């Protein structure tokens, strides 16, 4: 009975979202205040019913209601309670409900934090999000209802949650990834509302920026958590595999990064308007593409949900309708978003444009590589091809290197026009210091000429030094450094922090891939192996009993220079309900390096196979992403996006009267990149 | 602010110190003896660059069991026999076709794949150049732009705390009219 | 011109969407065999029937035959076994088994229990010959003509429909080619 209530709540949410997608939109068009004002209550209603639906699904898991198909397939009485709750997003149907609920959550957030925007604009935004909601819920009701029952012959016990998902990261990775991913639909809705209303000005950009920053920052965390999870879970020490399911979030992330930079120019200078809108549409399209690829089985991936072509067709039709309509709307309305203001051929605008160029080319290249096997198969009549990490690395790393070179220059350059002399004055010493230290430090430390490392250190120093120089010149006239730092706007600090995070991640990625070492050995109890500066001695295994698994746990004694350092305990587990064997790494994570051990199998002679890894700097990859995400959030929380000073409001109140006589102002910054269509 | 700073700090500490318990997907580990570190390096490289023909989407080195482990053994054998990477690739291609290569060969059908990104970059750079050039021809009046920017700072910031909804709507209406007239002026100005 | 540029994104998107739609109905899991129209690779392997005496291509039937990759651990192989048994009774074509990555005793027990449609069971316990054939898991079925050239390959289980619609016409084509 209770699951039917969940289904009923879902249907109510569906009906409300239909109303939401029509009434406020029409109201905004006709200027009907009542209809406009329905947007917020309707959105809240959708959120409430989605929440009820989600809670009931969670309750079905906790209550072990195996008459619900989804619960029976993804839970088990022996499953620990925290995995029972999180198993809600452990499969296709539930995770889609969770995804839709996230959209509802973002809608609620828009309701709450939109007091400063005109009501009809908010109505349009919420209405667009309501349309997305209609599509998502219809998809669930039609093809993948999480409340479907197995009656009358319900199973006694569930099939258990996929063993690979029973992990702490599973509790936090999907929510953060979905939240970031779905957050881009807010920015998308802003863009569509702007296109419909024809109103795309600096104020629009200012409303949009915190949402874009927040969604992007959360997506950064979600991706980073996923990568970290893959690292310690999959047992081969990798942290990014360029899998078809990983690529669309990466594309969304890159397009999102391009968008927040382009938004900055739109807000500050009124340029790149139509381009910003196009980026918002493309970023959202890539998030839908990710959903499509994950849930349709279009591309063979390690992550794919159990698939079904009807679902794929549904999502594709939805994708084609939403994105096709948006892009047509864009093509029709973009000419009205022309830019009026120019900028010099050497200016911050130009550097932001280059940044966008690199990021969008990187996204397009990843998309090309991801979809190429399908195109190839269609073109050759069935021949198969694989596009994997060697391709993506070969394309991605050079592009990121160019980006890193520009990253030092962009923030130092000035809006409108920068003189070459200014750049030279600012960067000459930086460049010299970066090259000298970037070469000297690796050479002195390794007594070799490691070219990859030198390139990495030069680029890192180049960005960091230019950043420091910029901060120094900005706070030069303040009495103390602390006072100076406090005087800097949050958005500037956020940008600096995020760029610093990029440097750390880049350095971590390059250095760990250069310096990681590993060895696979067959060890009897008491035998040991050396790797790098460490000695790993295998002391034997002992049986371990978990809540829903049994395991052999190895004791590996790590010593360094003959001195005991630490014990590591890798396990080989067997999940009893599903009979799935899994490996469980023994990891010692430190700032400068990780030790990583994987236990394999016991061979005939009693020896165990195992792999030991030493991975220097690998942790920097994720530390950097925390800086990036925090920088994004810091920038989003800059007070100019949320605080509206009384003074300004008074000014406005004054303006409202004699505005007709006010000839001077021309707040319509009708601008944009003229060739907005270059995105592909 | 303070809350988020603390959260940030906590997350950092967490990443630095957390030693993670679980880990999944049973790893099958081959133990091979190599004569030189270069051979071992080549073995790792090659088993990363070939795709497992049976598994979902994984390279040979991260795929458990079955044909993946047989193929890793063959790679080891061929390395120890002194075969070159090209010969090993040829061996794989002759048996499993292009599917097994994660780095697609450059053929007529993969030209777009390999040169696409460079084409994108060049096309994008060309478009960007046009934009910059067009932009340079536009009105380039610093004072005007600054004046607009400063007005924009204030114009659309509408605070609900001070003015009532009705006032705000009136304000929006007025501003919209104002926008239109300004827009028209600009169009004629072009 | 400018307006056309603005429509580029939607055009590119639609082209991609068409490819993705076609992709939904394409099988990206079954590898096309590169061995079609290539000679059957040479081998020197044991067989279930002849004990330690090694068999090679010389021991294979003179005319066209089917080479079926199977293992006692393989459930789909159990499914297709009756089809091969029927084919054997009707003398459609000789069927050779390649016992792939299996244990000899398990294989013998399986054949005793389920019936043995194979004229000869070559043992490939290491999977090495399977690699030469481009095999990536049982069951796989090859059709070899009188000149020892592989003419057809089916990956995965064979059911009656596949047998009638795909395998039988291929056999007919190979037998016709061989007699001419």
pLDDT exceeds cutoff 70 at B51: yes
- Put simply, the answer to whether C19 touches A298 (Cβ < 8 Å) is no
pLDDT, tens digit, 9 for 90 and up, residues A547-601:
888 999 999 999 998 899 999 999 988 888 777 788 888 889 889 999 989 888 8
Which residue intervals of C25-127 are DSSP H helices? 75-89, 104-114
* Segment A53-57 mean pLDDT: 95
B58 and B92 within one domain? yes
Residue A6 has pLDDT above 80, yes or no: yes
pLDDT at residue number B65: 65
**What pLDDT, on the 0 to 100 scale, is given for residue B21?**
34
Q: CB–CB of A589 and B29 under 8 A? A: no
In a domain, B1, yes or no: no
Contacts of C136 in chain B (CB under 8 A): 53-54, 66-67, 96
Write out the two tokens for A379. Answer: 């073109």
* Partner-chain contact C134 B95, CB within 8 Å: yes
Q: Chains with ≥3 Cβ pairs under 8 A against C?
A: A, B
* Pair (B156, B129) in one structural domain: no
Q: Which residues of A touch C32 (CB under 8 A)?
A: 382-384
Q: How many CB atoms lie within 10 A of CB B25?
A: 21
CA distance C135 to C99: 12
Asked if C128 lies within 8 A of B94 by C-beta distance, the reply is no
Distance from B38 to chain C by nearest Cα, in Å?
A: 25
Nearest C-alpha in B relative to A612: B29
C95-100/C65-70 β-pairing: parallel
Q: In this model, does residue A673 exceed pLDDT 50?
A: no
Stretches in chain C below the pLDDT threshold 50: 1, 179-180
Q: Are residues B83 and B62 in the same domain?
A: yes
The mean pLDDT value of chain A amounts to 86
* CB pair distance less than 8 Å for A659 and B97: no
> Which residues of chain A have a CB within 8 Å of the CB of C23?
298-299, 371, 374, 377-378
Is B30 within a domain?
no
Q: Name chain C contacts of A383, Cβ cutoff 8 Å.
A: 32
pLDDT > 60? residue A613:
yes
Residue B162 lies in a domain: yes
- Which CATH number do you get for residue B87? 1.10.8.640
Other C-beta atoms lying within 10 Å of the C-beta of residue C170 = 18
Q: Where are the domains of chain A?
A: 1-166, 205-418+489-515+620-641, 517-617
Instruction: Give the whole-angstrom CA distance, residue A423 versus residue A413.
Output: 7
Per the domain annotation, does B167 fall within a domain?
A: yes
- Give yes or no for a contact between A180 and A215, defined as CB atoms under 8 angstroms apart: yes
Chains contacting chain A through 3 or more C-beta pairs under 8 A: B, C
Q: Are residues B69 and B118 in the same domain?
A: no
Residue B49 lies in a domain: yes
Cα-flanking dihedrals φ and ψ of residue A325, to 5°? -65, -40
- The phi, psi pair for A588, rounded to 5°, reads -115, 105
* pLDDT tens digits, one per residue of A616-639: 999 999 999 999 999 999 988 877
What does the alpha-carbon distance between residue A536 and residue A515 come to, in Å, rounded to a whole number? 19
Which pLDDT tens digit goes with each residue over A638-666? 776 654 444 445 455 555 444 333 333 33
The whole-angstrom separation of Cα B105 and Cα B114 is 9
> Are B49 and B93 members of one domain?
yes
Residue A673: count other Cβ atoms within 10 Å of its Cβ: 31
Place of tokens 């021991």: C59
Which residues on chain C are in Cβ contact (under 8 Å) with A299?
23, 28
- The answer to whether the CB atoms of A378 and C24 lie below 8 A apart is no
ipTM exceeds 0.90 = no
Cβ separation B96–C137 shorter than 8 A: no
pLDDT over 90 (residue A126): yes
Domains in chain C (CATH in brackets) are: 33-179 (3.40.30.10)
Residue B171 sits in the same domain as residue B123? no
Where is A530: in which H helix or E strand? strand A528-531
User: Is C21 in contact with A316 (Cβ distance < 8 A)?
Assistant: yes
Is there a single domain that holds both residue B47 and residue B86?
Answer: yes
Mutation target among C5, C18, C28, C134 for the A interface, most CBs of A within 10 A: C28
Q: Look up the domain containing B56 and give its range.
A: 37-100
Judge if B94 and B44 occupy the same domain.
yes
Beta-bridge mates of residue A554? A541
> Are residues B55 and B89 located together in one domain of the fold?
yes
């Amino acid at each position: 009975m209770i699951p039917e209530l969940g289904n009923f709540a879902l249907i109510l949410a569906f009906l409300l979202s239909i109303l939401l997608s029509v009434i406020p939109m029409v109201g905004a068009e006709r200027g009907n205040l009542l209809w406009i004002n329905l947007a917020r209550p309707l959105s809240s209603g959708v959120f409430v019913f989605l929440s009820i639906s989600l809670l009931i699904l969670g309750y079905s898991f906790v209550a072990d209601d195996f008459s619900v198909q989804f619960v029976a397939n993804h839970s088990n009485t022996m499953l620990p309670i925290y995995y029972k709750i999180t198993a809600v997003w452990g499969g296709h149907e539930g995770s889609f409900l969770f995804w839709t609920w996230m959209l509802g959550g973002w809608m609620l957030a828009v309701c709450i934090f939109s007091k400063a925007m005109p009501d009809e604009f908010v109505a349009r935004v919420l209405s667009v999000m309501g349309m997305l909601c209609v599509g998502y819920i219809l998809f669930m009701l039609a093809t993948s209802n999480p409340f479907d029952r197995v009656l009358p012959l319900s199973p006694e016990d569930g099939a258990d949650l996929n063993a690979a998902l029973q992990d702490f990261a599973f509790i936090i990775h999907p929510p953060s990834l979905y939240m970031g991913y779905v957050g881009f639909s807010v920015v998308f809705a802003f863009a569509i509302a702007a296109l419909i209303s024809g109103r795309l000005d600096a104020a629009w950009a200012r409303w949009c920026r915190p949402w874009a920053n927040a969604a992007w920052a959360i997506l950064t965390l979600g991706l980073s958590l996923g990568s970290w999870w893959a690292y310690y879970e999959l047992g081969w020490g990798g942290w990014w595999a360029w899998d078809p399911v990983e690529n669309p979030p990466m594309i969304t992330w890159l397009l999102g990064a391009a968008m927040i930079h382009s938004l900055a120019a739109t807000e500050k200078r009124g340029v790149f308007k139509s381009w910003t809108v196009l980026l918002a549409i493309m970023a959202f399209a890539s998030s839908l593409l990710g959903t499509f690829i994950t849930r349709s089985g279009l591309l063979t991936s390690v992550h794919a949900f159990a698939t079904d072509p009807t679902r794929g067709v549904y999502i594709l039709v939805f994708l084609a309708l939403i994105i096709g309509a948006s892009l047509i709307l864009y093509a029709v309305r973009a000419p009205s978003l022309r830019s009026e203001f120019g900028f010099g051929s050497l200016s911050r605008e130009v550097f932001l444009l280059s940044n966008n160029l690199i990021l969008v080319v990187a996204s397009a290249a990843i998309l090309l590589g991801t979809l190429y096997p399908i195109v190839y198969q269609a073109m050759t009549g069935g021949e198969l091809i694989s596009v994997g990490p060697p391709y993506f690395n070969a394309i991605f790393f050079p592009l990121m290197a160019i980006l890193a070179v520009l990253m030092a220059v962009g923030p130092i350059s000035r809006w409108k026009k920068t003189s070459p002399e200014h750049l030279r004055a600012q960067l000459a010493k930086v460049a010299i210091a970066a090259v000298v230290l970037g070469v000297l430090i690796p050479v002195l430390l390794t007594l070799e000429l490691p070219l990859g490392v030198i390139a990495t250190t030069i680029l890192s120093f180049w960005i960091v030094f230019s950043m420091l120089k910029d901060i120094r010149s900005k706070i030069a006239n303040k009495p103390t450094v602390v006072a100076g730092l406090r005087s800097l706007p949050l958005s500037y600090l956020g940008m600096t922090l995020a760029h610093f995070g990029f440097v750390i991640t880049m350095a971590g990625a390059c250095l760990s891939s250069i310096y990681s070492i590993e060895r696979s050995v067959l060890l009897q109890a008491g035998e040991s192996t050396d790797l790098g500066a460490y000695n790993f001695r295998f002391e034997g295994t002992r049986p371990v009993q978990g809540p829903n698994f049994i395991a052999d746990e190895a004791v590996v004694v790590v010593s360094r220079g003959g001195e005991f350092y630490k014990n590591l305990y890798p396990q080989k587990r067997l999940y009893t309900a599903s009979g799935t064997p899994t490996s469980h790494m023994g990891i010692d994570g430190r700032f400068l390096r990780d030790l990583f051990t994987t236990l394999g199998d016991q061979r005939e002679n009693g020896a165990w196979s195992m792999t030991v890894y030493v991975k220097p700097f690998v942790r920097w990859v994720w530390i950097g992403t925390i800086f990036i995400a925090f920088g994004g959030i810091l920038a989003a929380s800059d007070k100019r996006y949320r605080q509206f000073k009384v003074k300004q409001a008074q000014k406005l109140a004054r303006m409202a009267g004699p505005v007709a006589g006010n000839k001077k102002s021309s707040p319509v910054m009708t601008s944009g990149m003229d060739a907005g269509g270059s995105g592909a | 602010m303070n809350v988020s700073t603390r959260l940030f700090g906590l997350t950092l500490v967490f990443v630095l110190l957390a030693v993670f318990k679980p880990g999944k997907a049973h790893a099958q580990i081959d133990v091979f003896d190599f004569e030189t570190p270069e051979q071992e390096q080549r073995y790792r490289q090659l088993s990363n660059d070939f795709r497992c023909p049976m598994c979902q989407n994984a390279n040979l080195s991260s795929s458990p069991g079955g044909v993946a482990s047989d193929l890793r053994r063959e790679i080891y054998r061929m390395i120890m026999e002194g075969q070159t990477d090209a010969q090993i690739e040829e061996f794989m291609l002759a048996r499993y076709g292009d599917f097994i290569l994660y780095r697609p060969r450059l053929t007529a059908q993969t030209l777009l794949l390999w040169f696409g990104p460079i084409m994108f970059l060049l096309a994008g750079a060309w478009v960007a150049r046009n934009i910059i050039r067009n932009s340079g021809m536009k009105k380039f009046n610093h004072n005007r732009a600054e004046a607009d920017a400063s007005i924009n700072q204030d114009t659309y910031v509408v605070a609900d705390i001070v003015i009532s909804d009705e006032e705000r709507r009136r304000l929006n209406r007025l501003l919209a009219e104002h926008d239109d007239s300004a827009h028209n002026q600009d169009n004629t100005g072009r | 011109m400018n307006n056309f540029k603005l429509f580029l994104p939607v055009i590119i998107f639609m082209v991609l969407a068409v490819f993705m739609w076609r992709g939904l109905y394409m099988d990206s899991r079954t590898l096309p065999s590169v061995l079609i129209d290539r000679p059957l690779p040479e081998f020197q392997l044991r067989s279930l029937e002849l004990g330690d005496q090694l068999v090679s291509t010389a021991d294979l039937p003179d005319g066209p035959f089917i080479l079926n990759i199977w293992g006692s651990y393989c459930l789909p192989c159990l499914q297709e076994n009756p089809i091969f048994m029927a084919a054997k009774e009707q003398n459609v074509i000789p069927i050779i088994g390649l016992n792939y990555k299996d244990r000899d005793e398990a294989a013998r027990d399986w054949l005793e229990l389920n019936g043995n449609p194979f004229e000869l069971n070559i043992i490939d316990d290491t999977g090495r010959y399977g690699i030469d054939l481009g095999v990536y898991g049982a069951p796989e079925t090859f059709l070899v003509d009188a000149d020892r050239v592989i003419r057809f390959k089916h990956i995965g289980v064979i059911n009656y429909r596949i047998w009638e619609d795909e395998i039988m016409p291929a056999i007919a084509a190979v037998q016709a080619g061989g007699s001419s």
